[in-house]
């Protein structure tokens, strides 16, 4: 009997520690402060103003390449920079896209490390059905070189003059 009284006293003591407000309030160990996104945005803009960032106009899109082979794509972002503080900010609607979705237009933006990940990605893609045929004979292309002259153009001009 004495043991059950001790347990009830310990239980009441623990319950009193958990309660944040007064009698009748919810029992929570820590108080959670809810912040709105606009408050965080205002603080961020104030900090950027302190750094002296300037708007950079004329940027149509921003692509950030991740290690997982995805691209964070911003279309018409607001770009600000402070060279003195070595700070760049990009704000706007961001989309996470796969590298394969952006491929034709993104090749000129890729660095050497991204090209190696592109090669790995190409190896993992399924091969087309027509590749199991015998390989075609390679045709040499000499588009970069000047073609050799077959005829003598001086003789043709002499014949026309006569």
For the chain, which residues make up each domain, given as ranges?
52-123
Judged against a pLDDT cut of 90, whether residue 55 lies above it is answered with yes
Residues 60-115 have pLDDT tens digits of 999 888 888 788 999 999 999 999 999 999 999 999 988 778 777 777 677 676 66
User: What pTM was computed for the model?
Assistant: 0.49
Average pLDDT in the chain: 77
d(CA 94, CA 76): 10
Mean pLDDT of 40-60: 91
Identify the band that residue 33 occupies on the pLDDT scale cut at 50, 70 and 90: confident
Q: Please compute, for residue 19, the number of CA atoms within 13 A of its CA located in the half-sphere on the CB side.
A: 12
CA distances (Å), origin 16, targets 29, 35, 80, 82: 10, 28, 51, 52
Judged against a pLDDT cut of 80, whether residue 133 lies above it is answered with no
**Which H or E run contains 89?**
strand 87-91
Q: What is the pLDDT of residue 154?
A: 76
The domain over range 52-123 is classified in CATH as 3.20.20.140: no
d(CA 71, CA 123): 19
The DSSP symbol for 19 reads B
Mean pLDDT of 138-159: 69
């Amino acid at each position: 009997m004495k043991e059950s009284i001790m347990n009830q006293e310990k239980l009441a003591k623990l319950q009193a520690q958990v309660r944040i407000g007064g009698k009748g309030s919810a029992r929570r160990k820590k108080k959670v402060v809810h912040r709105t996104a606009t408050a965080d945005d205002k603080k961020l803009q104030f900090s950027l103003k302190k750094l002296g960032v300037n708007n950079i106009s004329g940027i149509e899109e921003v692509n950030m390449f991740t290690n997982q082979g995805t691209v964070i794509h911003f279309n018409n972002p607001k770009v600000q920079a402070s060279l003195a503080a070595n700070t760049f900010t990009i704000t706007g609607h961001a989309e996470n896209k796969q590298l394969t979705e952006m491929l034709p237009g993104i090749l000129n933006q890729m660095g050497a490390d991204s090209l190696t990940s592109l090669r790995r990605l190409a190896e993992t893609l399924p091969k087309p059905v027509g590749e199991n045929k015998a390989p075609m004979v390679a045709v040499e292309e000499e588009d970069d070189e000047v073609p050799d002259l077959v005829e003598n153009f001086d003789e043709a001009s002499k014949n026309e003059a006569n």
